[in-house]
Amino acid sequence: MNGETNRPKKRRKTKKRKSIFLSLLLYLLFFSVIFFIGATISYRYIVNADKLTISEITKKIELGDSVEIEIPFNSSTDDIAKILEEKDIIKHPRIFKFLSFFNGHDGNYRSGRHLIAKDLSYDEIMRVLSQNPISINITIPEGKNFTETVDILAENNLIDREDFVKTASEEKFSYKFLEDLPEREFPLEGYLFPDTYFFDPSSSSKTVIRKFLDNFNIKFTPEFYKRTEELNMTVDEVITLASIIERETKIPEEKEIVSSVFHNRLKSQDPSFKKLQSCATIQYILLQRDGKVKELLTYEDTQIDHPYNTYLHEGLPPGPLCSPGLDSIIAALYPNEESDYLFFVARGDGSHEFSRTLAEHEAAKQKYGVSY
């Protein structure tokens, strides 16, 4: 009786083993197919692509259906795969990312504008994107000083830092707005106009600088020159004031009022108002000295012995603090004419409270916790 009852159990065990074996076989078959597909793709996109040199690929692009794409600065391989898929250049972004890693292209892609043909293999696309772009798209924000602008250009592999600084300091550029500039460490401080530019990656330092200056030359119109004369100022003084305004406030509606405070102080007959007492000039000094600005200034900071210190010296500083945007230049030229403000203090939220008298100003300082 025991022998009869054991037979069904043995049959069940045999069936279970067969089921496990069949499952393993199916898994093995599945992964074999995946491996075969991967090997085929690898051969097509890795081995096959090596038959063409980069110059042959370039010719292929010129003769084919080419598409211009923009690779933003600091784009990851994932970002690039998405851009290529959106442009209908690749169908399989995951395969692109795998092959990019497998072929060692990750981290070698160059930002800027590239021409790509739709019939290129994935590896050919990777090799093209690892070459110099046809142009580099670089944005210089308003309020960047000369050193910060150089940093941005160098980070985008457009310039040699040392050569650019030397060219900007020693080369003579013939523009009306650069006539009679005073001697200073960075002569072009304030004139590398903030904007978005497309640069040829093979551009010389001189060519890059000219692009900035040409843009400034367009933006600073004949009307601006006329207004500069009406204010009895030089272009350099206007740009210096505009740079202070740029660094003092980012609120467009405040700019002409901030400008009026400085104009009112410069025109005042009271000697105590001739000192502009601009925090932006102190931050400029700290940035030059320490390589960084301070979130909160102290009274001691306002007593630093430096020609740019407008708490100690009357009038405008010797030169611009940064490259101001067009709205700050306009504010410097056209202050709010109805304003009789002589002071302002930061509220802590980016805006400012304006005052007409010293008593009002002291009350505002106490209100917002300003100690200098």
At 75, which CATH number?
3.30.1490.480
Per-residue model confidence as pLDDT tens digits over 83-117: 999 988 899 999 999 999 988 899 889 888 888 88
Q: By percentage, how much of the chain surpasses pLDDT 70?
A: 85
In a domain, 33, yes or no: no
**Shared domain check, 153 and 115:** no
pLDDT at residue 175 greater than cutoff 50: yes
Which of 98, 129, 160 is where one domain is finished?
A: 129
The whole domain housing 358 covers 233-367
In a domain, 16, yes or no: no
In a domain, 142, yes or no: no
Which pTM does this prediction carry?
Answer: 0.73
Per-residue model confidence as pLDDT tens digits over 307-339: 999 999 999 999 999 999 999 999 999 999 899
**Shared domain check, 123 and 162:** no
Q: Give 178's pLDDT tier (boundaries 50, 70, 90).
A: very high
Q: Give 19's pLDDT tier (boundaries 50, 70, 90).
A: low
Which of 72, 99, 129 is where one domain is finished?
A: 129
**Shared domain check, 77 and 194:** no
**Shared domain check, 331 and 270:** yes
pLDDT at residue 2 greater than cutoff 50: no
Token code pair at residue 312: 């100690």
Give the number of domains in the chain.
Answer: 3
Per-residue model confidence as pLDDT tens digits over 231-278: 999 999 999 999 999 999 999 999 999 999 999 999 998 888 999 999
In a domain, 135, yes or no: no
In a domain, 45, yes or no: no
Q: Give 49's pLDDT tier (boundaries 50, 70, 90).
A: very low
Q: Count other C-beta atoms under 10 Å from residue 63's C-beta.
A: 9
In a domain, 139, yes or no: no
**Shared domain check, 213 and 243:** no
